Chains A and B, each alone.
Chain A
Amino acid sequence: MSARTAPTPAQAARPVRWRRPVNTALRYLLLTVILIFAVFPFIWTLAIALTDKTAGTSIYAFPQSLLPSRVTLNNFTDVFRTFSLAKYLLNSVIITALTVVGTLLVSALAAYPLARFRFPGRGVLFGLIVATLVLPSETTFIVNTLTLKNLGLLGTHAGVVLPTIAGAFGIFLMRQAFLAIPAALLEAARLDGASELLILTRIMLPLTRPSLAALGIFTTVTTWNAYFWPMLVLSGAPDKAPLAVAVLKLKGQFNYDPFNIAAGSIIMMLPVLLVFLAAQRLFLRGMEGAVK
């Protein structure tokens, strides 16, 4: 808002000199209030996780509990010991890794012909895939559970993963990426006698690495955090549950220990937070792509 232009009535009417710094200060104040709203639960959880519980402090002693007087990492080792956190962490890693690899593979394979070839049925297939974004899906989880039971996959990691890896978002994202690659590059490779699979793996995939990374990160975060579907599929196999499901079971246990739960929560949040902070741009771009 520069005052260099001719003063209009609206501008002339207000004292500009003090207005700007006050405006900026107010802006930051507002930003900070929203910031506290957004991250307060994390800050508090972190404070609880770091509190030495042997000192006999209550997590609800405000505002002291936000700044623990005696800091310790014992809660973290404790939660590994008493809750077999390692097992649930491993389950989360397995489910997430399988889902990410599967999603990238299936999406890239499907997107390649959709982007680069003409074949009968292409328009219909692409339409069907896009339609999955808006189709009412309220009953799918019922039938999918029955299907998994019939296939003997209920209560397995494969049962959690398989229904989630073919999705419109991944196929769409990879198709857009493949469309952006110049056709001349593919023609040259074909003249050299390269097979389509070779072109896909040696030319297309390396050139679309940013999109693959975005899809991978996006899938990692959503899979790591997923609650409802893994809870449903693994309800009969609690030992195979990922951390997102187990953490609530821990909370419900009779030896409920808020310090350990807080430590477990921080451990669960940390990978996602690091991935997000490291790849913010890719992540947010991927998310915008998801709704376009």
Chain B
Amino acid sequence: MPHWRQTLMSYTFLAPALILLAVFTFYPLLYGAYLGFTEYNGARFANNLPPQWVGVKNFETVLSDPLFRTALGNSVKYLLVVPALQLASLAVAVLVAKNLPGIAVFRAAYYIPVITSVSLAAVMWEWVFNREGTLNWLLGALHLTTPEAAFGWLNSEQWAFWAVMLVTFWRGFGYYMVLYLAGLQAIPEELEEAAILDGANAWQRFWSVTVPLMRPTILLCTLLSTIAALRVLEEVLVLTNGGPLNSTYTALMYVYAKAFQGFDFDYGLASAAGLIVALVALLLSALNFRLFHRDGEQA
């Protein structure tokens, strides 16, 4: 096949993907970044008026908005889910890595929350967190609380945040467990056996054989869950809608609300807020990478 024909054919095959990516991924990335520096809202859009360049005004407005500060603070606080999630899923992966009878059932069951829609999670967990729900019943059965003292967890300014985080944890641990499991199974058995011969106990083997060899997987999973935690939106939207008293309001929720709720659909301001979140996400990724990659090469 002549070279030009091969090129022509390649681009013909690639065309649908490239057009869709250009329109729905690359253009919105660039245009969204541009919008952050403009005044642009529902009224301008409806009247076919172009965005108007205003420089960093939106960023000043966003950064001085107490609601955004609360939201960004909550998003950063949400990162607390990352260590809990990673430690738990690594531990669970170690637990299910050993071939016991029936272990496949446990592995599959742990993954089921991952394939659950966030809306179903909201329906189900609302019943758990309800004033009369399972959590209060369990605490009552353990004599940790009384029926009179019970409250709805999602309506509590103090607890709603942690309740939402628990749902994130529930939906996530199976996902990371599978990734860690893949990493664990790639570790050659001889290494483990050699460590046993050297007299290392289970704990020593875990720290000096498993963890160093798992470093790339740990980096990947931490990175993924850090970004996911910073970008948390759906759980909050369906469980508490940011309340009570903005205690669960997150940064991406601010972006969504500014663009699509309220009266003026402030796309410019929302885009600026989105860019700030994106910037924080990039910084955190870089930080993650530094922390975990320091001596990763030796492993």
Contact = CB atoms under 8 A, between A and B. Distances in A.
A62 B141 CA distance: 10
Contacts of B256: 141
B20 interface: yes
B28 A139 contact: yes
B134 A139 contact: no
Interface size of B as a range: 35 or more
Nearest to B260: A232
Given A225-B115, A284-B178, A109 B10 contact: no
Interface stretch (A2-10, A70-78, A79-87): A2-10
Contacts of A269: 116-117, 120
Contact of A35 (B18, B110, B201): B110
Interface in A246-272: 247-248, 251, 258, 261-262, 265, 268-269, 272
B259 interface: yes
A247 B267 contact: no
Interface string A129-153: 1001011111111111111010000
A129 B21 contact: yes
Contacts of A287: 175, 178
Interface stretch (A36-44, A93-101, A207-215): A36-44
A137 B111 CA distance: 27
B119 A140 contact: no
A263 to B, nearest CB: 11
Nearest to A66: B134
Contacts of A140: 24-25, 28-29, 32
Contacts of A139: 28-29, 32-33, 35-36, 255, 270-271, 274-275, 278
Contact of B9 (A110, A142, A196): A196
A177 interface: no
Given A60-B133, A162-B20, A119 B106 contact: no
Contacts of B35: 139, 142-143
Nearest to B230: A138
A75 B85 CA distance: 36
Contacts of B62: none
Given A34-B92, A139-B275, A171 B32 contact: no
Contacts, number: 253
A183 interface: no
A198 B100 CA distance: 48
A139 B6 CA distance: 37
Interface string B119-140: 1111111111010111001000
Contacts of B175: 287
B10 A122 contact: yes
Interface string A190-234: 100000100010000000000000000000010011111000100
Which of A41, A59, A128: most chain B CB closer than 10 A? Answer: A41
A181 interface: no
B31 A143 contact: yes
A166 interface: yes
Contact of A8 (B120, B199, B238): B199
Given A110-B16, A112-B13, A288 B275 contact: no
A163 interface: yes
Interface in A1-52: 1, 5, 8-11, 24, 27-28, 30-31, 34-35, 37-42, 44-45, 48
B17 A171 contact: yes
Interface in B257-299: 259-260, 267, 270-271, 274-275, 277-279, 281-282, 285
Contacts of B162: none
Contact of A147 (B23, B119, B123, B252): B23
Given A5-B197, A227-B117, A109 B32 contact: no
A280 interface: yes
A68 interface: no
A42 to B, nearest CB: 7
Given A146-B45, A200-B13, A251-B122, 5 more contacts: A44-B128, A48-B127, A163-B23, A225-B117, A244-B120
Q: Which 5 A-B residue pairings sit nearest by Cβ, starting from the closest?
A: A139-B32, A136-B278, A113-B10, A143-B28, A225-B117
9 contacts: A10-B201, A30-B95, A37-B170, A106-B16, A110-B13, A138-B231, A138-B255, A142-B35, A247-B119
Interface of A: 1, 5, 8-11, 24, 27-28, 30-31, 34-35, 37-42, 44-45, 48, 58-60, 62, 105-107, 109-110, 112-114, 117-120, 122, 125, 128-129, 132, 134-147, 149, 162-163, 165-166, 171, 190, 196, 200, 221, 224-228, 232, 235, 244-245, 247-248, 251, 258, 261-262, 265, 268-269, 272-273, 276-277, 280, 284, 287-288, 291
Interface of B: 1, 6-7, 9-11, 13-14, 16-18, 20-21, 23-29, 31-33, 35-36, 45, 92, 95-96, 98, 100, 103, 106, 108-113, 115-128, 130, 132-134, 137, 170, 174-175, 178-179, 182, 196-197, 199-201, 220, 224, 231, 233-234, 237-238, 252, 255-256, 259-260, 267, 270-271, 274-275, 277-279, 281-282, 285
